[in-house]
Every structure is written in structure tokens, then in C-alpha cells.
Amino acid sequence: MILAAAASTNSVWADEKPFSIAIHGGAGTITKAKLTPQQQQAYRDKLTEAVNAGYKVLEKGGDSVVAIQAAINVMENSPLFNAGVGAVYTYDGAHEMDASIMDGKTMNAGAVSGVKHIKNPINLADAVMNQSPHVMLSGAGAEEFALTQGFTLVPANHFDTESRYKQLQDAKVKLRKAESELKAKSPDYQASLNGVPQIDYLDLDYKFGTVGAVALDKKGNLAAGTSTGGMTAKRFGRIGDSPVIGAGTYAENGVCAVSATGHGEYFIRYHVAGDICAKVKYQQKSIIQAADEVINQRLITAGGTGGVIAIDQRGNIATPFNTEGMYRATRKNGEPADVMIWRGR
């Protein structure tokens, strides 16, 4: 009888172990005036679908790595987000996608950059993590590896959307205007290097947009993943923070998991995801305090804009951002999904 009672107690305790998930769909200048009520609802519905897809995996005792892929796949398959089918255009009218994933249990990680024919880049990043001795593969080589793993390449026009193409045209207009203004201010200004405009994208509202997820499963395993179409009108095979472990993605069991979105150059320079986890690990700061210090103090002081989703070993979640808004959703065990766009929800 005592053994039976003990077994029953342990079973209940196991079922009540904390698990939770957080997702983001990009940060930036997201004003209420720019979103109709119908558009707002469309984003909220898709974020709900994505966070619930990951939650269902966790609820059944599934692995955190599997859960974050389930959530990210929903967003990669939606034209609402800058990842997968909703990926933005490069300056030359193509699509170059990046993704990364990290398993906090093993500290293994996988990433891909500059892929053009992969429907769900996060899945290929997972294959790199689990089926290769490498961490990051790029371009044609990554797609060659994808074929060895049974992936089907999709045509480049799979990622074409009218709204993203319009963003490209708008961005080019702004770039040309910025170049003209610089020429007017300085007659000796060299507006190009081999015919390529040297314009800083900092003031352009086209540098944001990424999807990501972090999760804690019932076994205490943390995981993080990030997927993006990059920056509108980017050139030269530019790569941001999303596929860079420690910058856009990081996870370590017993510490935290982080996925970032924003102006990637700053997230790389300031090692944002890794820095947050370092504050938790070595300074014993809460996930909320650590994430806030990096995003709303260190990063913004340097001129970097964006946000993160972060989760700790107990399932506590932080979603700080220093932009006008960030598409995000969270769900903890036994609770309904919480979907947010602005600070006031």
C-alpha cells in the first residue's frame, strides 16, 4: 500500500512539472494605425495557432526541440511573417532565408544561411544539428545537404508575395532618396562603391521581421529556434543574427533559452542571446531582469532596436522589446494562450 501511494504521488508530481512556450513574429514599427482590425485579428489568430501547436507537443510530454519547430513551422507557412513563405525580397528580387536551432540539453546547435529553396528553413537547421558534424551551412551547400536528408526543394517563386514585393519597391525609393540627400549635403560624397549605394539601413523600417520560439518541456529541457527572410533590399548575401548561435538564438539547460528579432547587426555585435543567459547563469539575475537589461539598457543605448523572447528553467517568460511593438504569444501549463502585439496587448 505504501509503495502504491508513493507511485501515485510521484506520478502526480511528474504531471505537474512546469512546461511553457513563447513565440515571436517580429518586432518593429507596428502601429495600430497601420493595422486594420481584420489584420490585427489575422495576426492574433496565427500567433495563437503557432503557440498552441508547440504547446500541444509539450502537453503530451514531447521534446522542447520538437515543440519549437512545430510553432515555427506554422509561422513559416504563413505570409504574415518574414520567414518561409512570407520572406522578404533581396535588392535583386530574390529570397535568402536563415534559421538556427539549439538544444539546451546537449548544447548542440544547427543553422543555415542564404537558402533559397527550402520551404521550412528551421527544419533544415535541425537536420544540420542532428545529422551532420557541423553547426552552420550556407547557400547551395546547405541545399545540397538538404537533398541528402530527403528534403524537397521548392521553386523560388514559392516565397513570392505581393505585399513583400511592394515593400521592396518602397525600400528602393527610400534608398535612392537617402542617397540623393547625401549627395546634396556633400558634393564630394562617393555615393557608391563599384556602383553600389552606401546607405545605412538604420533609419529604414525594413530591418525587422523574424519568427522564433523558446520552450521548456516536462523533462526540464530548454530549446530555442529562429527563422527569418532577413532584411528587405539586403545585398551581398548579407546575414543577420538569426542563424548566429549566441546572437539570435541560444539555449542551455538550467539557465535559459532565447530567440531574438530586430536589427541583426547589433544583436551580433552585442551577443544578445548569449549575454542574457550569461546574466542569468553567472549573476543569478531573473530572466525578466536579464532580458530587460540587455534589450532596454545595453542594446538601445548602442542604437540597436528589437526584442527577444526568453524562458528560464522554471518556465518563467520574458518578452522585452524597445520598438513600438512585437508580435508574440506565450502559454504555460494549464493556462490559455496569451497573445500580444503592443505593450498594452
Rounded CA gap, 11 and 8, in Å? 5
What's 72-134 look like in SS3? Answer: HHHHHCCCCCCCHHHCCCCCCCCCCEEEEEEECCCCEEEEEEEECCCCCHHHHHHHHHHHCCC
| Sheet (strand 306-312) strand order | 249-252, 256-262, 306-312, 317-318
Bridge-based pairing state of the strands 196-197 and 211-216: unpaired
Q: Rounded to a whole number, what is the largest CA-CA distance in the chain?
A: 91
Return the active site residues. Answer: 210
Instruction: Confirm if 301 and 270 have CB atoms less than 8 A apart.
Output: no
What's 145-156 look like in SS3? Answer: HHHHCCCCCCCH
Rounded CA gap, 322 and 89, in Å? 25
Instruction: Confirm if 25 and 75 have CB atoms less than 8 A apart.
Output: yes
Instruction: Confirm if 49 and 72 have CB atoms less than 8 A apart.
Output: no
